[in-house]
Structure 1
């Protein structure tokens, strides 16, 4: 996979003058996801944890409900394809959508079918009892930021972490805020990590 950051010469302006300096910038990677041989979505992302991102995205969109729904997943890194074979395909999507293209910026919505997807995948929160103190919110944010090397180097990514009260369980960074969350969700599904007693800490 290509590096997540590269060095480039930039023109930096400050104190009334400009100078050419070498700086770190975050890279982009375009990947098209095929589900059961059919192109489903093209995504622009930071080139790491691609498999986790695809798993999380498909679960978020209601295509799968658990990792075992995926029979196989294969990444064509050079060509920019991820091939997913699943025995469970949400029948509503056959009527609701064609292929979609998601840029790194969310824009007005995650997808053109956001309301349909929300209706199909929304869950009740009646039994969610996770509570967190204000002090813990700031502490977890600081702990997440301390480990965000790519953000410190480039300033060009969104940072997200799944946390227990004891600290971050898993954290991910991406040029797309939804990608960062999908990478976390996919990792949890793949590794059977419960999210019921945890919170998301997020920084744009």
Structure 2
């Protein structure tokens, strides 16, 4: 098993702070809470957006946001990515001249917990997308879920955070966290763009809901499979089926539900060797 290239850093003092409060009995308690700070992204001379973020990997967040918005093309030559910590700004410079005034006028507020924004038509750029027919083994899914759920993370340290994990087979490659799942997936996209990472043999795992936004961004990145221990939205499922994306949700213990792209699944896991999770009390079916 290879060592992941990027993992969460819950001990980074810039990402959390200690806050004193009182518990249900009135006793004083100190807890860690996640930091949230603005990051303004420029593309060449044009201000694009200000995102609320935990503040790690700002350059990757900027690259991934611009790439997933269609403002950075696959063949664009990036001549510089400059982060100014004092004014909390990233400037991405390209050899190609850019102007997105019209695109910036059309905004869709997404379902992200930190209220994400998508510019232009949400389905723009997906018309010709054909996702690769890569296999997805259930043994990989179970191994990944176990690794990801037990890795040190800001979620375990302070909560109020989402994670997005880039995987290959049963290996965790890059694990990003942020207050909004849209930011976390954009950081992964930024890393893939910067490194020229191929997408056809990758799996994307998210700790959040499988929404239309997550499905669209996964497809834009060219990744054929998206998984989560959380649930689905109807539009997310509909778009996944249109695009041929394999969509796995409610992945808890031995259980999961596949609502799109079943043809990629290879059920090779020995379920007797997979540790199960108890079902939630008072809830029927496959879980939340």
* Range of TM-score over shorter length: 0.7 to 0.9
State the match for 1:35 in structure 2: 43
CA shift for structure 1 position 118: 2.3
How many residues get paired? 196
Q: Which moved more, 1:97-106 or 1:192-201?
A: 97-106
1:118 aligns with one of 119, 123, 136:
123
Asked whether 1:197 is paired with 2:201, we answer: yes
2:155 aligns with one of 139, 146, 151:
151
C-alpha distance in 1, partners of 2:127/2:56? 28
1:6 aligns with one of 17, 29, 49:
17
Whether contact under 8 Å (2:69, 2:118) holds in the other structure is no
Whether contact under 8 Å (2:20, 2:30) holds in the other structure is yes
Greater helix fraction, Structure 1 or Structure 2: 1
Asked whether 1:25 is paired with 2:33, we answer: yes
C-alpha distance in 2, partners of 1:66/1:11? 51
Whether contact under 8 Å (2:64, 2:189) holds in the other structure is yes
C-alpha distance in 2, partners of 1:187/1:121? 21
State the match for 2:102 in structure 1: 95
Q: 1:151 to 1:29 in 2, by over 3 A?
A: same
1:168 aligns with one of 164, 172, 175:
172
Whether contact under 8 Å (1:161, 1:171) holds in the other structure is yes
Q: Secondary structure at the match of 2:87?
A: coil
CA shift for structure 1 position 182: 0.7
C-alpha distance in 1, partners of 2:127/2:83? 29
CA shift for structure 1 position 35: 1.5
CA RMSD of aligned residues (A): 2.7
Q: Deviations over 1:95-141 (max 9, x none)?
A: 2324979897254x74253xx2422355522x511222334223212
Q: 1:138 to 1:110 in 2, by over 3 A?
A: farther
Q: 1:150 to 1:79 in 2, by over 3 A?
A: same
State the match for 1:85 in structure 2: 93
Asked whether 1:129 is paired with 2:133, we answer: yes
C-alpha distance in 2, partners of 1:106/1:131? 33
Whether contact under 8 Å (2:52, 2:114) holds in the other structure is no
CA shift for structure 1 position 202: 1.0
Name the structure, 1 or 2, with higher relative contact order (CA <8 Å, separation 6+): 1
Structure 1 unaligned spans of 5+: none
